[in-house]
Amino acid sequence: MGSDIMGSGGRFNRRSTPGTRRAWLRWVPAVAAPAVIAAGVLAGTIPARAGDPLPAKTPAEVLALVGGHDGGHKPHSFSGTIEQSSDLGLPELPAAGPSSGPASAGGAASVFELLSGQHTARVYMDGKTKVRIQVMDRLAERDIIRRDSDLWFYSSRDNSAAHLTLPAFARDLPLVDPGLPGSPPPDQSVPDGAMPATPQELAEHLLAKVDSTTAVRVGDDVEVAGRAAYNLVLEPRTDATLVGNVAIAVDGETGMPLSVQVTARGADSPSFHAGFTSLSLEAPDDSLFTFVPPPGSTVEELQVPATGWPPGIHNPGMMITPDQLDAIHQRPDGIHQHPDGIHQDPAPSTVTGKGWETVVEIPAAAAGGTLAGSLLKDPLLSQAAVVVPGGRLLSTTLFNVLITDDGRIFAGMVPPDRLQAAASAVP
């Protein structure tokens, strides 16, 4: 029996010489499999030109589409996944996210954390008053849940929750509104006559306003989250800013901003990108907007700050949505045009320069002398800030923040020397 088997083995050996060609053939799958996989991956990365191209539109028409009055089918109910990635040249943070701190006390570190690396969030929205944002961390999650005037923050890392009752004035001010960035909230009942009547006029009015500082054009159509979108490109007309261009993808069907990317001057890839990776326009399950603090969690009751809500600053440790980002990026103009818009601030900041060259100064005394100090106390920030003549500089590819030795803070989307010049010019 054994000899039979040895015999077969021997036969195998004997036949292996003429069989070499066939043995070679048998390795074909081993070569073909990776090749097929590679081909599949390549085919997947080629952006699919889906369906018909969008009808050509002028920037004003695209803006009007964003305004949502165009046809009136702007979705206020959707669920989607947003991915945000930043490559601002800041030191990489551990992927674990903020090390500690309750849900309410995000502070500077959380903002800083959002500025580096990659983040994914799911956003659910049903109407204007029901919102849920889930920021996905590894084996953890941070949630914002809003139903009407109840606003909850939850952090799974330490099982802490914070609750806020929105005051009446903020109730109509949606936390996340895919509305027109930098323009009045679209569905506000502004009496006609006070404002341009049609969205088209509104858009042209707005374009005319920014025209002195920014060139607005519509680039090639892009595809975001499987939807064809207009690509609204804003380019600063000045060389004195770090921003090369801002590209906003506007959904061709609904006018919803789908993604924002900010590219630094001279850079090939965007320094900041936030956008939907998937989007469904169906109304999410209503139970998603119900939040009851889980057993064993610590609950903190928060007070609404009297000065209102600058988006993205008081939102503790949370995602900046493309819409909020839009708002922020439109803000330089807004501040410049309406300096009284920030008069409520107990620490009056002064603004120099205009448009993209705006430099914001927060005086030391007004900030109580504590802001700069507390910023530098943060180990992450102090590590990232380098010592320059006159203070410490937090330098990124898109903006710079200078904390002078006497505690003043200068910030702007400008090169560092402009901040230093501003610091030395203002005594």
* Residue whose C-alpha is closest to residue 182's, from 393, 389, 338: 338
Closer residue to another protein in complex, CB, 155/395:
155
Cα–Cα distance for residue pair 191/342, rounded to 1 Å: 24
Q: Indicate the residue type of 326.
A: D
Distance of CA 138 to the CA centre of its chain: 19
Closer residue to another protein in complex, CB, 319/411:
319
- Rule CB under 8 A: say whether 159 interacts with another protein: yes
- Rule CB under 8 A: say whether 26 interacts with another protein: yes
Distance of CA 312 to CAs 184, 198, 277, Å?
Answer: 18, 30, 21
Interface mask (CB under 8 A) for another protein, residues 92-111, using x and -?
x------xx-----------
Q: What are phi and psi of 140, to 5 degrees?
A: -155, 170
Which of helix, strand or coil describes residue 402?
A: strand
Residue numbers 27-46 binding another protein by CB under 8 A: 27-30, 32-34, 36-37
Name which position in 55, 191, 296, 389 contacts another protein (CB under 8 A): 296
Cα–Cα distance for residue pair 299/296, rounded to 1 Å: 9
CB of 324 to another protein, least distance (A): 22
If binding means CB under 8 A, how many residues of this protein chain bind another protein?
A: 55
Q: Indicate the residue type of 24.
A: W
CB of 425 to another protein, least distance (A): 40
Pairing outcome for strands 214-224 and 77-86: unpaired
Interface mask (CB under 8 A) for another protein, residues 113-152, using x and -?
---------x-----------x-x-xxxx-x-x------x
- Rule CB under 8 A: say whether 13 interacts with another protein: yes
Name which position in 17, 21, 23, 52 contacts another protein (CB under 8 A): 23
Closer residue to another protein in complex, CB, 165/297:
297
Q: Name every residue whose Cβ is closer than 8 Å to that of residue 277 and which is 6 or more positions away in sequence.
A: 80, 81, 82, 83, 120, 225
Name which position in 72, 191, 193, 295 contacts another protein (CB under 8 A): 295
Burial of 242 (0-12, 13-18, 19+ CB in 10 A): buried
- Rule CB under 8 A: say whether 16 interacts with another protein: yes
Name which position in 78, 272, 289, 291 contacts another protein (CB under 8 A): 291
Task: Locate 320 and state its tokens.
Answer: 């900046």
* Residue whose C-alpha is closest to residue 111's, from 88, 81, 138: 88
Helix axes 322-337, 199-210, angle to 10 degrees: 60
- Rule CB under 8 A: say whether 12 interacts with another protein: yes
- Contact residues toward another protein (CB under 8 A) are 5, 7-16, 19, 22-23, 26-30, 32-34, 36-37, 81, 92, 99-100, 122, 134, 136, 138-141, 143, 145, 152, 154, 156-161, 278, 285, 288, 291-297
